[in-house]
A and B are shown apart, each in its own frame.
Chain A
Amino acid sequence: MSIEIVNVSKRFGDFVALDSVSVSIPSGQLTALLGPSGGGKSTLLRIIAGLETADSGRIEIEGVDATKLSPQKRNVGFVFQHYAAFKHLSVARNVAFGLEIRKRPKDEIRERVHELLNLVHLSQFADRLPSQLSGGQRQRMALARALAVQPTVLLLDEPFGALDAKVRKELRDWLRRLHDEVHVTTVFVTHDQEEALEVADEIVVINEGRVEQIGSPDELYDSPANDFVMRFLGPVTELGDRLVRPHDLQLLTGGGEPDAVPGRITRITRVGFEIRVVVAVGEQLVTVTLTRNEFLSLGLQVGSEVQVRIAPEVGAVVGQPRLLGAV
């Protein structure tokens, strides 16, 4: 394990940011800390970097107890949401900063900076000031700067949060490819579940200062540990008192499956390739999403009487199954 976080707690006045959090982050992987704003994930990242100190608990990085180490001794690369570019230095000098501090020979610095600027596709901007770059370019510069010192771990705090949607998506793909090339243990904080599911090898879901679940994107999506994880990772709807994903529900027009309940269609909305059907089951409004083909083959209309059931092969359901029939 590359980063070992043991019973870390942190308060800001009365606000509990982290409540005895323990996480093991594996070497060489891309791990996402995912959760809603104010849930404590950024605080955890900053504690790993040494930019905040934990009130109690322990941090180990590659087997070394880092709890009391100052940030400059931890050898971590940190990338900030708002880039934290050194405004008075050129792009090349920004990237060279950590190497200059380490008093490396000039030739080596020049070579390494050149190599990194190639890696982040900024070679032609080496002599510009950060203010002359776009947001996405600045963030790539910040990444190169963090990578220059060959950190043991790379930490990214909402790295794409300040960028517009299109650039964000490009950078996300790019980060994944970069990680496949560089293989440095990487932890990034995000509140965007899509980003975490798409990029990360492993996801740590953090809410209200506590770890809700740790697992691969598939594990989290298919078998969420609780309501919160289920709701946070994707769309949900309730059937009886069971929480289920709308695309995991089936509509039947014929009668008689034992686990199905009857209802009437009240609304049909088409969103691109998917059709959202709202079914009134007793007092409850249940959302079901279907593909266009499924929808057409069933020949549904508003007012149709249908049977609703959870697709038999589905795992991700939270709640008590025995109550389903009682609705």
Chain B
Amino acid sequence: MASHPSTRTRRGPVTYLVRLLVIAYLFLLVAWPVYLVGKNTFADGMDNINGILEDPDIVHAITLTVQVAIIAVIINTLFGVGISLLLVRYDFPGKRLLSALLDMPLSVSPIVVGLALVLVYGGRTGWFGPGLESMGFQVIFATPGIVLATVFVALPLVIREVVPVLEEVGEEQEQAARSLGANAWQTFRRITLPSIKWGVVYGVVLSLARSLGEFGAVKVVSGNVLGQTRTATLVVEEKYLNFDKGGAYATAFLLALVAVACIIIVSVIRPKEDR
């Protein structure tokens, strides 16, 4: 870098070409398709939106999706912050293995996750399933299964946001707090949590967006029962396959809207000095 001080400021034709390529790429891949979803949603004015909001089954699906997402985000946040502290502040055998394992949900196809959960919690042949079912607790083809699948796929998002922040903040502030008489909980609440606040918020938003949009794993474990376990993403597929494109676009638009809104709100309120 230091030996080429001019590269950063020089704006030759190559710079503009590269910029144009990047913009065109993002436009064709992301912006234009998303825009088309919105355009198709509002092709007949508010008809499509009103159509889905008047259908009680779809309203139920959307409510279910939001409930599941909120529960999953709460679980993933508590677990994520805890596991991040464990990974950054403590040494133990198998730490690298655990760290690698935590990335697995990002690399495994969600449909595999769904099948795996059925194998463990399935009501007839799963490991725990029959036992749980005899106690009157159904997991697969019910809301707990949908929550489980959603938690699984969004698991690493909080951790991957919080771990680098914890590493950067370092341990000294916590040690100072301890030596000033604070116990573990006081140290966490007064010192650690405020310093990782924005990492947690960002992780929560990403998890929320991911949880709202989960499709594959949920499709396998939910059973897709209309008015009971059908979530918003499953409604989109159903509508699309049934040639109700207007309804499919409208539901998809609502899903995308919430996710995009979350990310925009956070990047606006996040203070600049933290990044």
Q: Is the CB of B181 within 8 A of A98?
A: yes
Question: With A84-B172, A87-B173, A101-B186 known to touch, is A77 a contact of B195 (CB < 8 Å)?
Answer: no
Interface bits B172-186 vs A (CB < 8 Å: 1, else 0): 110111111111001
Quick one: which of A50, A84, A88 contacts B176, CB cutoff 8 A? A84
Query: Is A76 interfacial (CB-CB < 8 Å)?
Result: yes
Q: Tell me the chain B residues, 39-74 only, with Cβ under 8 Å from chain A.
A: none
Q: Is the CB of B180 within 8 A of A101?
A: yes
Query: Is B194 interfacial (CB-CB < 8 Å)?
Result: yes
Q: Is the CB of A102 within 8 A of B177?
A: no
In the bound assembly, the distance between CA atoms of A80 and B190 in angstroms comes to 19
In the bound assembly, the distance between CA atoms of A102 and B181 in angstroms comes to 7
Quick one: which of A71, A77, A145, A149 contacts B175, CB cutoff 8 A? A71
Q: Output the residue of B176, B180, B186, B191 with the most chain A CB within 10 A.
A: B180
Complex interface: chain A residues within 8 A of B178 (CB): 50-51, 70-72
The smallest beta-carbon distance between B3 and chain A, in angstroms, is 28
Q: Is the CB of B180 within 8 A of A97?
A: yes
Complex interface: chain B residues within 8 A of A51 (CB): 175, 178-179
Complex interface: chain B residues within 8 A of A84 (CB): 172-173, 175-176
Quick one: which of A70, A76, A97 contacts B177, CB cutoff 8 A? A97
Q: Tell me the chain A residues, 79-120 only, with Cβ under 8 Å from chain B.
A: 80, 82, 84-88, 97-98, 101-102
Q: Is the CB of A78 within 8 A of B195?
A: no
In the bound assembly, the distance between CA atoms of A82 and B171 in angstroms comes to 11
Complex interface: chain B residues within 8 A of A142 (CB): 176
Query: Is A74 interfacial (CB-CB < 8 Å)?
Result: yes
In the bound assembly, the distance between CA atoms of A101 and B186 in angstroms comes to 8
What is the interface of chain B mostly: helix, strand, loop, or mixed?
helix
* Chain A, residue nearest B180 (CB): A98
In the bound assembly, the distance between CA atoms of A86 and B189 in angstroms comes to 13
In the bound assembly, the distance between CA atoms of A145 and B195 in angstroms comes to 19
Q: Is the CB of A80 within 8 A of B195?
A: no
Q: Tell me the chain B residues, 131-188 only, with Cβ under 8 Å from chain A.
A: 172-173, 175-183, 186
Quick one: which of A49, A80, A98, A146 contacts B172, CB cutoff 8 A? A80
In the bound assembly, the distance between CA atoms of A97 and B189 in angstroms comes to 13
Q: Is the CB of B176 within 8 A of A78?
A: yes
The smallest beta-carbon distance between A300 and chain B, in angstroms, is 48
* Chain A, residue nearest B186 (CB): A101
In the bound assembly, the distance between CA atoms of A70 and B187 in angstroms comes to 14
Q: Is the CB of A86 within 8 A of B176?
A: yes
Q: Is the CB of B180 within 8 A of A149?
A: yes
In the bound assembly, the distance between CA atoms of A57 and B177 in angstroms comes to 26
Quick one: which of B173, B183, B194 contacts A72, CB cutoff 8 A? B183
* Chain A, residue nearest B177 (CB): A97
Q: Tell me the chain A residues, 260-306 only, with Cβ under 8 Å from chain B.
A: none
The smallest beta-carbon distance between B174 and chain A, in angstroms, is 9
Complex interface: chain A residues within 8 A of B172 (CB): 80, 82, 84
Complex interface: chain B residues within 8 A of A101 (CB): 180-182, 186
In the bound assembly, the distance between CA atoms of A148 and B179 in angstroms comes to 12
In the bound assembly, the distance between CA atoms of A50 and B175 in angstroms comes to 10
In the bound assembly, the distance between CA atoms of A85 and B172 in angstroms comes to 9
Q: Output the residue of B173, B176, B186, B191 with the most chain A CB within 10 A.
A: B176
The smallest beta-carbon distance between B275 and chain A, in angstroms, is 15
In the bound assembly, the distance between CA atoms of A84 and B172 in angstroms comes to 5
Interface bits A46-71 vs B (CB < 8 Å: 1, else 0): 00011100000000000000000011
Q: Is the CB of A78 within 8 A of B177?
A: no
Interface bits A25-56 vs B (CB < 8 Å: 1, else 0): 00000000000000000000000011100000
* Chain A, residue nearest B169 (CB): A87
In the bound assembly, the distance between CA atoms of A76 and B186 in angstroms comes to 18
Complex interface: chain A residues within 8 A of B177 (CB): 86, 97
The smallest beta-carbon distance between A91 and chain B, in angstroms, is 14
The smallest beta-carbon distance between A272 and chain B, in angstroms, is 36
Q: Is the CB of B182 within 8 A of A72?
A: yes
Complex interface: chain A residues within 8 A of B195 (CB): 87-88
* Chain B, residue nearest A83 (CB): B172
Complex interface: chain B residues within 8 A of A102 (CB): 181
Complex interface: chain A residues within 8 A of B175 (CB): 51, 71, 78, 80, 84
The smallest beta-carbon distance between A11 and chain B, in angstroms, is 15
Complex interface: chain B residues within 8 A of A148 (CB): 180
Question: With A87-B195, A88-B194, A88-B195 known to touch, is A72 a contact of B179 (CB < 8 Å)?
Answer: yes
Complex interface: chain B residues within 8 A of A85 (CB): 173
The smallest beta-carbon distance between A296 and chain B, in angstroms, is 49
Complex interface: chain A residues within 8 A of B190 (CB): 97
The smallest beta-carbon distance between A146 and chain B, in angstroms, is 8
Q: Output the residue of B179, B190, B194 with the most chain A CB within 10 A.
A: B179
- Hey, which bits of chain B sit against chain A, CB under 8 A? 172-173, 175-183, 186, 190-191, 194-195
The contact sample of 13 A-B pairs, CB cut-off 8 A, is A50-B179, A51-B175, A70-B178, A72-B179, A72-B181, A84-B176, A87-B195, A97-B180, A98-B180, A101-B180, A101-B186, A145-B176, A146-B179
6 closest Cβ contacts across the A-B interface?
Answer: A98-B180, A84-B172, A84-B176, A78-B179, A88-B194, A71-B178
With A51-B175, A72-B183 known, 4 other A-B pairs at CB within 8 A are A78-B179, A80-B172, A80-B175, A85-B173
